[in-house]
Amino acid sequence: MERKVETAWCPGCGNFAIRDCLEKAFAELPIPANRIVMTSGIGQAAKMPHYLEVNYFNGLHGRSLPLATGIKLARPDLSVIAYSGDGCMYGEGGNHFLHAIRRRLDITILVSDNQVYALTKGQSSPTTDPGVVNDLSPQGSLNASLNPLALAITLGAPFVARGFAGDKGHLTELIKEAILFKGTALVDILQPCVSFNKINTYAWYRERVFKLEAPLADRHEALRTAELWGERIPIGVIYRDDRASCREIKEIFRREAPPDQIACQADMTCVMMR
Ligand SMILES: Cc1ncc(C[n+]2csc(CCOP(=O)(O)OP(=O)(O)O)c2C)c(N)n1
């Protein structure tokens, strides 16, 4: 396909494969293109919507979720996708990640997880494995890593999945399923970074990933599966709960206040004006 825009990604970046999957998913979904909107923060991954034919709002670092929340509150008819890298979503945006899931809105969260802050030249990110040596942590990354899937399950997210940029057919289906899911859906995507992560390469993942046959409905079992990392890494829908309801926007407005009395705080928490 002919591209109109040149990307800032390195040749071989996992984001190219993820972009292909998003394009295919958008083309195949029964949702008109003008009903889909993406939000993103800052980083190489956050440039994803720039390179797609999609409506988008590119905000500050870590702020893709407040933007998505605001858009969803104002326009519940739109399919809203918050996109970013692991640093932006789980680091700078970590607080928003926690509370966006608690709000139970119908938003899709997609993350290019390369286990590194790539745009700023490879610092350890929240998902960097402890002990990993990089240019900026020559003695090895000191912190424990954050497991976004286990965290999302713990917070009660009703759809929690992991994809792999090296399996485009599987990832495309995951993205479509997450967008169609009615409720907060997370897909953390294993995205090899050819420049700043020489450990978690395509080959490294290919030796370890295995596909889950079906989503788990039991949260505790899902949590145990989400915690698998290292020798065996599950991909697919880890947890799916179709009984969990997402909050209808009109319900929020009707129960809590008429729309003209609603204000949004800086973190997009809806509050009633007194
Ligand atoms: C508030 C704020 N802090 C830090 C930065 C610098 N910064 C820009 S991009 C980035 C890292 C992005 O990493 P990630 O979200 O993992 O995406 P990647 O580049 O790896 O795709 C950082 C730290 C910033 N722009 N704003």
pLDDT digits (tens, 9 = 90+) for 45-97: 999 999 999 999 999 999 999 999 999 999 999 999 999 999 999 999 999 99
Confirm or reject: Cβ of 128 under 6 Å from ligand 1.
Answer: no
Residue 261 in this model has a pLDDT that exceeds 90? no
Which residue out of 113, 120, 196 has the highest number of ligand 1 atoms within 8 Å of its CB and is therefore the one to mutate? 120
Q: What share of the chain is helix, strand, coil (3-state, %, to 5)?
A: 35, 20, 40
Q: What is the Cα–Cα distance from 8 to 13, expressed in whole angstroms?
A: 10
Report the nearest-CA residue for atom 24 of ligand 1.
61
Asked whether 18 lines ligand 1 (CB < 6 A), one says no
- Residue 201's identity, in one-letter code, is T
In this prediction, residue 265 carries a pLDDT of: 43
pLDDT at 268 over 80: no
* Ligand 1 site, residue 124, Cβ cutoff 6 A: no
Question: What pTM, to 2 d.p., does this model score?
Answer: 0.92
Mean pLDDT, the chain, integer: 91
CATH 3.20.20.70 fits 14-245, yes or no: no
Is residue 184 very low, low, confident or very high in pLDDT (cuts 50, 70, 90)? very high
Q: Domain ranges for the chain, please list them.
A: 14-245
At a CB cut-off of 8 Å and minimum separation 6, what does 182 contact? 106, 246
Among the residue ranges 39-48, 225-234, 237-246, the one predicted with the least confidence is 237-246
List pLDDT tens digits, range 190-233. Answer: 999 999 999 999 999 999 999 999 999 999 999 999 999 999 99
Burial letters for 243-256: b for 16+ Cβ neighbours within 10 Å, e otherwise? Answer: eeebeebeebbeee
> Which atom of ligand 1 lies nearest, measured to the CA of 86?
16
Probe residue for ligand 1, chosen from 61, 141, 145, 193 as the CB with the greatest number of ligand atoms within 8 Å: 61
Q: What is the mean pLDDT of residues 110-123?
A: 97
CB 172 within 8 A of CB 25: yes
Ligand 1 near 123 CB (within 6 A): no
Percent of the chain past pLDDT 70, that is, above it, reads: 89
Does the pLDDT of residue 254 top 60, yes or no? no
Residue 136 is predicted with a pLDDT of 87
Instruction: State phi, psi for 140 to the nearest 5 degrees.
Output: 100, 140
Tally of CB atoms within 10 A around 190? 27
User: Which pLDDT band holds residue 244 (cuts at 50, 70, 90)?
Assistant: confident
Q: Whose CA is nearest to atom 3 of ligand 1?
A: 61
Question: Whose alpha carbon is nearest atom 16 of ligand 1?
Answer: 87
- Distance in Å, CA 239 to ligand 1 centroid: 29
H-state helical runs in 64-199: 64-74, 86, 94-103, 148-154, 168-180
